[in-house]
Structure 1
């Protein structure tokens, strides 16, 4: 295939990096130490950017939900219900999605050379990257999120519309004070984004033919004693298996990269070729580096896709 296999370890986004956002963080009122929370009442923390639900039948006053003792202690007061709307696209999971109309956000995350978006539910996407706040635009993109790929005239005229649910751009010029604005639009309903990842895309070798992707469903299937089947829909993920070759001179640097992303959910791209777009997955990579000879190494990568 002779296409580079690369990994993108996302920059950890902090509140200081968010310049502006059209995505509200007002899912529920902010937690107050003075308020008495009833059973089932919810609040948010602007420190952890998480939603918490009171699980105590008695008066819940003065119990900070961000204190793990108040979640997992002998007397639990709160249950974590997931990220707030604004921070859902930065929590490392594709299934938790930020939603707004339009969904627009401007970030200054420092240096980065790649952008990846997953779990998209939108009609249009625009991205603008500047070399500095108010500076020159070094990358601009604006187009419909159309994923249909008709194989013949019949499919072109009659096949159903297929939305594009992910988008990746690489090889951006890196600047220490770069600024990026991402905007998602949707004609009907809210635009949604499951993951917005920024960082340095690092090559780990040249992808060999034979890469595999395995779609997984976490739907619950129950067959009763009469043979009737009930399916409870669940989330879907994609696992990927890929092998790449590299020269011995690159082995130390690639090994350092693989150690850097170990136990870190990241974007793995086996190739940039459009026809091989399924070969890009967000998940947890498990690498093996094999020294096959005096001049050649092999990287075997198993990626467990994240929900």
Structure 2
């Protein structure tokens, strides 16, 4: 199990992106325009989307705290949605979507989740020279027999993670998502320095909190209202007692802070996606009843 605490992606770190701002369907706030209730605008300085709360809304800058009664902060703009880990948002753009990041500090891991694309590639350059490349074909056809091999539907793998980036201070990291047909989507990008927690033990569990509404009337007829299902994982980890102090610090650092958690290093494993989550821990118990090893009980929940 590895945890990846994210660095905050700021305008200074986001060197460039092919996703425009405003994107299609977004309107930049204008001081001279009168907005009705429900009208939405974006601010290209705060990179947020705002919804008008009142009629005859004119001259009220939505980015100012003083105008909070006039505007509701809905969330990030399309360009910045992939960097907002506190909401279940994503960036959609024409293929290829290319994002260039300059962290300005050492990072050794990256995770990209919520992907809808055929391929993903990560390149690290230092002083113009390429020092690292990694890519993956995300279009998969799971098979359980010859019929599925020839006729089964293709599915997208939605996660990509690498924990072996060379930790250069002056690294430039480029992420590229491509898709032959349709736009690409990137649900989230997590960049930082990973921390090894321990070996994931057998009997790990993948679960989900289902917020859909399921009601039945007096005759048993069901009324179904589909809503979001939030992934959860439960796993036990074994770590060395010499690592406990470092893990305790990580537990404090990630209190109510979203991070990327990867239960397996083998990304070709059928369990890899089930044990990779961007979220927060709900339970993080360390049992120290063994002389040399500690057992961690970890319960994670997606944000």
What is the TM-score when the length of structure 2 is the normalising length? 0.90
CA RMSD of aligned residues (A): 2.0
| 1:291 alignment counterpart | 288
Matches within 5 A, 1:232-251: 232-251=225-244
1:143 deviates by 4.0
| 1:108 alignment counterpart | 102
**Does 2:36 align with 1:7?**
no
Which of these residues, 126, 129, 136, is aligned with residue 124 of structure 2?
Answer: 129
| 2:271 alignment counterpart | 276
Over 3 Å counting, the alpha-carbon distance change for 1:224 and 1:105 in structure 2 is same
CA distance in 2, matches of 1:124, 1:296: 40
| 2:53 alignment counterpart | 55
| 1:213 alignment counterpart | 206
Structure 1 window deviating more from structure 2 (188-197 vs 224-233): it is 224-233
1:231 deviates by 2.2
CA distance in 2, matches of 1:31, 1:94: 23
1:226 deviates by 4.3
| 1:149 alignment counterpart | 142
1:93 deviates by 4.9
Over 3 Å counting, the alpha-carbon distance change for 1:224 and 1:109 in structure 2 is farther
Over 3 Å counting, the alpha-carbon distance change for 1:122 and 1:94 in structure 2 is farther
Number of aligned pairs? 295
Give a deviation string over 1:58-101, Cα, whole Å, max 9, x none: x2133232344533xxxx31122221011110110573110111
CA distance in 2, matches of 1:7, 1:282: 10
Contact 2:142 2:152 in 1 (8 A): no
Which of these residues, 17, 23, 31, is aligned with residue 19 of structure 2?
Answer: 23
* Residue segments in structure 2 that go unaligned for 5+ positions in a row: none
1:53 deviates by 1.3
Contact 1:95 1:119 in 2 (8 A): no
**Does 2:301 align with 1:304?**
yes
CA distance in 2, matches of 1:237, 1:138: 37
| 1:252 alignment counterpart | 245
CA distance in 1, matches of 2:251, 2:278: 15
SS of equivalent residue, structure 1 residue 37: coil
Give a deviation string over 1:38-64, Cα, whole Å, max 9, x none: 33322112233111111212x213323
1:133 deviates by 4.6
Contact 2:39 2:52 in 1 (8 A): yes
* Residue segments in structure 1 that go unaligned for 5+ positions in a row: none
Over 3 Å counting, the alpha-carbon distance change for 1:189 and 1:177 in structure 2 is same
1:243 deviates by 1.2
Structure 1 window deviating more from structure 2 (101-110 vs 229-238): it is 229-238
CA distance in 2, matches of 1:146, 1:190: 15
